[in-house]
Chain A
Amino acid sequence: MNDTDLDIILAIADNRLTGQAKQDALVRIAADPELGEELAAQILAMDELKSLQPALMTSDERATLRANLIEQLHLAPAVPAAAVEPQRRPWWQPALALASGFALLLAIIVVPGMLPSGDDSGSDVVAIAPESTTITRAATSAADAGAPQDDGNVLTVYDIAEEDVAEFFSSSPAPSTATVPPTTKSAPLPGAGASEDDSSADTVDDDPEAASTFAAEANPQDVDLLDEIPLTTIVRADVEACLDLLAQGLPPGTLIPVAATRTGSEVVVHFGVEVVDGMEYSVSIDLASCTMTPLNP
């Protein structure tokens, strides 16, 4: 069978011919029994195929298909803009929440001990020993050495650049074992030169002579950076307590104190915060609430 005959049979079977063309094709087919049989076979097959049930998906199959596609194509229904905002939550917010909670706790435990009272043996003060004892001794020395006092105005502002800090520590000739502030035992200053070796703090506490002097005054070249911020001992304890909290969950060396200010009843300590991406941020810690506030956007 040639292509022309094939075309004729297909055209007739598919009902694509009309009028005279159709009559001519039928005459041609009728004249050749082989073509007739071919046409019959074509029509038969088509009829059988038409009897097949339509192939449809069930509703479950359809739903599964859509769900799978949406998942694999990462398609999601439109999300309101307000719901997207929390994705860019600042990194310090969890620390802020934690710090706020701790501030409340701190206020309950420490503040009553700070209040003037005829009863020196207040249970709150006793409860935080031995650190409180050590700090008191250090505070006395610090006051003797002329450290600024809490006069209700701006006390001190130290703007210490990081390279200055590095230079400061690298030029330190004396061992640091005797100069770790009392409270650094529980709150090492990451990245600020505070020793993480607990044995050094133990040495201080075990030696009344060494512990009786505020670290910065005992050996000014062997201090952690916090010692360079002359605050009252109570403020210092608060700073360290807040710092301890805020440093939790942060990479070592993240919080670097660079300045401390006090205005009225508000005490603010400034930190240069070097985060993983290498950017430097400044934050302030309000010691009244132990909350942290970014100083630069």
Chain B
Amino acid sequence: MTDRADLDIELIDRYLSGDIEAFNILMEAHEDRVFAICLRMLRNREAALDATQDTFLTVFRKADRYKATAAFSTWLYRVTVNTCYDHLRKQKRKQADSLPETHDVPDPTSQDEFAAVEVRPEIEAALADLSPDFRAAIVLVDLQGMSLEQASDTLEAPIGTIKSRLFRARKQLSQSLGNLRPSSEHRIEDMGES
């Protein structure tokens, strides 16, 4: 494991023995990334903060069950994504309950929904169109810089599945943005020169 992973294991042990400083160090190390995943997954700042809190509550309450066979961060981000899935399901139920009569398709470029998140609302809107599984793959790999293997461990899905989700998610994102360019030869040539 990496130094970070080893340090996390040590910090968890210290936390379990009542060391509040270990809690603070773990929070400093991971809270931004957890929040970023939640914000990109949920596209709502308040919901993201709630999900971040729920994630850490779950992780710290179940810290004694953490097995050091995997990196702490992998377990943490798995809990993060699962917590976001739960919040998305709740959001969906809430929307269904509060708007039973309407069948209008919401405007994905609505400023209100995305203004708190991003100065590029069209990208957020395109992300909003993705299924949660596709979005998770994009968020972890393209936005959080995880490798395919790390994303596979985090999402508990085979690498092939992650590749497929990533490929299709990017393609859908490009289509949503309406920026598919008919000619890409020059880009490929550029890459060949690099």
Q: Are B167 and A54 in contact (CB under 8 A)?
A: no
B23 at the A interface (CB under 8 A): yes
B166 at the A interface (CB under 8 A): yes
Q: Are B173 and A69 in contact (CB under 8 A)?
A: no
Given A56-B36, A73-B57, A45 and B20 contact (CB-CB distance below 8 Å): no
Q: Are A75 and B188 in contact (CB under 8 A)?
A: no
Q: Are A75 and B180 in contact (CB under 8 A)?
A: no
A77 at the B interface (CB under 8 A): yes
How many angstroms between the C-alpha atoms of A249 and B47 in the bound complex?
50
Contacts of B160 in A (CB 8 A): 3
Q: Are A73 and B61 in contact (CB under 8 A)?
A: yes
Which of B3-11, B65-73, B96-104, B117-125 binds A? Answer: B117-125
Q: Are A68 and B39 in contact (CB under 8 A)?
A: no
A136 at the B interface (CB under 8 A): no
How many angstroms between the C-alpha atoms of A70 and B20 in the bound complex?
9
Nearest-neighbour CB distance to chain A for B67, whole angstroms, equals 21
Given A26-B191, A39-B184, A41-B175, A65 and B167 contact (CB-CB distance below 8 Å): no
Option from B56, B174, B181, B187 in Cβ contact (under 8 Å) with A45: B174
Beta-carbon nearest neighbor of B33 in chain A: A55
Q: Are B123 and A49 in contact (CB under 8 A)?
A: yes
Contacts of B23 in A (CB 8 A): 69-70, 73, 75
What class of interface size applies to chain B in its complex with A? 35 or more
Given A49-B123, A55-B40, A40 and B166 contact (CB-CB distance below 8 Å): no
Q: Are A61 and B49 in contact (CB under 8 A)?
A: yes
Contacts of A49 in B (CB 8 A): 123, 138, 142-143, 173
Q: Are B57 and A65 in contact (CB under 8 A)?
A: no
Nearest-neighbour CB distance to chain B for A18, whole angstroms, equals 11
Q: Are A37 and B184 in contact (CB under 8 A)?
A: yes
B60 at the A interface (CB under 8 A): yes
Option from B56, B164, B174 in Cβ contact (under 8 Å) with A41: B174
How many angstroms between the C-alpha atoms of A45 and B188 in the bound complex?
15
Q: Are B31 and A44 in contact (CB under 8 A)?
A: no
Contacts of B52 in A (CB 8 A): 57, 65
Chain B residues packing against A (C-beta within 8 Å)? 20, 23-24, 27, 31-32, 35-36, 39-40, 48-49, 52-53, 56-57, 60-61, 117-120, 123, 126, 138, 142-143, 160, 163-164, 166-167, 169-171, 173-175, 177, 179-182, 184-185, 187-188, 191-192
Query: Can you list 24 residue pairs at the A/B interface with Cβ under 8 Å?
Result: A6-B164, A9-B167, A30-B188, A36-B184, A36-B188, A37-B180, A38-B171, A41-B171, A41-B175, A41-B180, A44-B174, A45-B169, A45-B170, A46-B170, A48-B126, A48-B179, A49-B143, A49-B173, A52-B143, A53-B120, A54-B36, A55-B36, A57-B49, A75-B20
Report, nearest first, the 7 A-B pairs whose CB atoms are least far apart: A40-B184, A45-B170, A55-B36, A41-B174, A55-B39, A45-B173, A45-B174
List 7 other contacts, CB 8 Å, given A3-B160, A66-B27, A78-B20.
Answer: A7-B163, A38-B167, A40-B187, A48-B120, A49-B123, A52-B118, A70-B23
